[in-house]
Chain A
Amino acid sequence: MNKTVNQKAWFLILPVLILVAFSAVIPLMTVVNYSVQDTFGNNQFFWAGLDWFKDMLESDRMWNALGRQLMFSGIILAIEVPLGIFVALNMPQKGFWSSFCLVVMSLPLLIPWNVVGTIWQIFGRVDIGLLGYTLDALGIDYNYTQDSFDAWATVIVMDVWHWTSLVALLAFAGLRSIPDAYYQAAKIDQASRWAVFRYIELPKMAGVLMIAILLRFMDSFMIYTEPFVLTGGGPGNATTFLSIDLVKMALGQFDLGPAAAFSLMYFLTILAISWVFYTVMTTLDKRDGK
């Protein structure tokens, strides 16, 4: 759409700017402030320069948490995106069953995140949970509070349970927007099912899939509540992801300086990666718009 140039539009944006400045910029400046200072308590601060950043970059703790985080985000993206597309392809297109599937699939998305953790905490317990009990009855040694592999598997299955529907819903919306003419043309060309998927459905879904990947990346990278409730970051540090580690450092130990430096680097990492996704997304938008 052709937009009118109108600088007065800034006035309409003003309320948002003020509110976001209040709720984002001021707190972020506090973080910046802490990240370059040290304290002996009593509110006496002195300049520490970039020492905290140097400290954090040299500490194994942050790199380990980052490694776990990247592995987690990578694994859940690798599972949720293909699975989501697969589910979307199999969804009924219209009628009662389509609505039914949409509603049921949306349910996990609307459950408070700590309840998601609680659900899986119960579900996975060997004594009272269906999953744990079944696995135990099958003779599989399963205990997500003791064994780090089991803890990882449970956290990942929980995330797949929680969020695959989001990818599926988006992919489904993308699929529905493909005009029938494309399928008819493919039919005339005697295209195989795979060819239809590869050359019609996938390119047409590219835009929404980018959004899905962007959202899943962002949200999985800042995941906190669900693993915190489920495993508390343990056993040991096995499922301590970046946010859990950060909260431990900032609110638990009150190490303001390192925590602030950590925060900034954490935020910048998400920002940098998301910016790449966003650029790809807007480029796709423009291409589709023409």
Chain B
Amino acid sequence: MTDIATPQVAEPVDKMTIAKPRKASRRMRPSGGAVVMTLYLLFLMLPIYWLFNMSLKTNAEILGAFSLWPRDLTFANYARILNDPSWYMGYVNTLIYVVLNTTISLAVALPAAYAFSRYSFIGDKHLFFWLLTNRMAPPAVFALPFFQFYSSVGLFDTHIAVALAHCLFNVPLAVWILEGFMRGVPKEIDETAYIDGYSFPAFFIKIFTPLIASGIGVAAFFCFMFSWVELLLSRTLTSVDAKPIAATMTRTVGAAGVDWGVLAAAGMLTIVPGALVIYFVRNYIAKGFALGRV
């Protein structure tokens, strides 16, 4: 455990040490920081490891013998999910509505965020807060009206219905994050572009968008993520054709009890997309969560 206490972790933990002669304080504090972090990361990883562990076991082994690692390594659980359409279509459905939602959210949020970051107009502050209130709205409050609304317009059990429903919290989020990033771009750039004869759309696409590319990436990531992790609305609005993987997972409870191995494997597969993209946004993730305000 203490192997991790290399100087890289250790040194910068306490900024006070920077000014001090290094040797004296290196022993004491830094190792304390490394121990705290190791314990905390262990606490975070243990449950995930356990899920991973179970996904590689057979059901007989899960229920039969208690072991910290799979004795009888099997990929059958994963194979079953990837070969059964009723399972993997869950992932496909989820991906379709998540991508739809991200596209819609960004498309409407970009101009709005620009307006909020550059201009002041009647009611701008109230409007900005009102947008945030939609992020505060409990999905449980909206579940029933959404269900009735989308049923009555014939969109029930379609991908677009879930995508639109998730706009409830993702659009305000995207507006807030993008506004935070856009505030960091000096206004002189806009003005210079207009003097050079750019029209607004040309300026926005050719000059402004590349400047806030990282902001767009982060906003997209957060829309993707919040749409991906949400279950209540997506479950309420779908039955068969657009059923998300999260709802499919409740199906593992069969006559013979819960199929733990498959459940664990399905859970592991839902972690993969997040884990794949997180590396790219690691330095912006705090800014994204702070709605662009760090």
Q: A and B bound? A: yes
Chain A, 220-264, contact with B by CB distance < 8 Å: what is the 0/1 string? 011011000000000000000011101100110000100100011
Chain B residue, CB-CB nearest to A113: B229
Q: Are B260's CB and A122's CB within 8 A?
A: yes
* Residues of chain B within 8 A of A128, CB atoms compared: 54, 62-63, 66, 260
Residue of A172, A193, A224 with most partner-chain B CB within 10 A: A224
Interface assignment of B134: CB less than 8 Å from any CB of chain A:
yes
Interface assignment of A140: CB less than 8 Å from any CB of chain B:
no
Q: Which of A47-55, A74-82, A141-149, A207-215 lies at the binding interface?
A: A207-215
**Nearest Cβ in chain A — how far from B11, in angstroms?**
8
Q: Are B44's CB and A119's CB within 8 A?
A: no
Q: Are B246's CB and A105's CB within 8 A?
A: no
Interface size for chain B: under 10, 10 to 19, 20 to 34, or 35 or more residues? 35 or more
**Nearest Cβ in chain B — how far from A36, in angstroms?**
15
Q: Give the tally of cross-chain contacts (CB within 8 A).
A: 306
* Residues of chain A within 8 A of B117, CB atoms compared: 1
Q: Are A183's CB and B8's CB within 8 A?
A: no
Q: Given A5-B120, A127-B63, are A256 and B282 neighbors across the interface (CB < 8 Å)?
A: no
Residue of B20, B62, B249, B282 near A118 (CB, 8 A) is B249
Interface assignment of B271: CB less than 8 Å from any CB of chain A:
yes
Docked complex Cα distance between A101 and B36 (Å): 12
Q: Are B132's CB and A278's CB within 8 A?
A: yes
Docked complex Cα distance between A101 and B4 (Å): 12
Interface assignment of A123: CB less than 8 Å from any CB of chain B:
yes
Chain B, 277-294, contact with A by CB distance < 8 Å: what is the 0/1 string? 011001101110111011
Residue of A177, A221, A275 near B294 (CB, 8 A) is A177
Docked complex Cα distance between A92 and B8 (Å): 7
**Nearest Cβ in chain B — how far from A249, in angstroms?**
9
Chain B, 102-142, contact with A by CB distance < 8 Å: what is the 0/1 string? 00100111011011111111101001010111111111111
Interface assignment of A6: CB less than 8 Å from any CB of chain B:
yes
Q: Are A169's CB and B289's CB within 8 A?
A: yes
Interface assignment of A93: CB less than 8 Å from any CB of chain B:
yes
Chain B, 56-98, contact with A by CB distance < 8 Å: what is the 0/1 string? 0000001100101000000000000000000000000000000
Interface assignment of A24: CB less than 8 Å from any CB of chain B:
yes
**Nearest Cβ in chain A — how far from B180, in angstroms?**
11
Chain A, 193-214, contact with B by CB distance < 8 Å: what is the 0/1 string? 1001000000000011001100
Residue of B116, B282, B287 near A106 (CB, 8 A) is B282
The 7 closest A-B pairs by CB, nearest first: A110-B274, A27-B145, A222-B138, A173-B286, A93-B12, A12-B115, A9-B119
Q: List 18 A-B contacts (CB under 8 A).
A: A13-B111, A13-B115, A16-B109, A24-B134, A24-B168, A28-B145, A30-B145, A31-B144, A86-B36, A92-B13, A97-B8, A103-B279, A110-B225, A113-B230, A114-B246, A170-B294, A208-B293, A259-B144
Known: A4-B120, A243-B138. 8 other contacts (CB 8 A): A103-B282, A107-B48, A122-B263, A169-B286, A169-B289, A173-B287, A183-B19, A246-B141
Q: List the interface of chain B (C-beta within 8 A of A).
A: 4, 6, 8-10, 12-16, 18-20, 32-33, 36-37, 40-41, 43-48, 50-51, 54, 62-63, 66, 68, 104, 107-109, 111-112, 114-122, 124, 127, 129, 131-149, 164-165, 167-168, 171-172, 175, 183, 187, 225, 228-232, 236, 245-246, 249-250, 260, 263-264, 267, 270-271, 274-275, 278-279, 282-283, 285-287, 289-291, 293-294
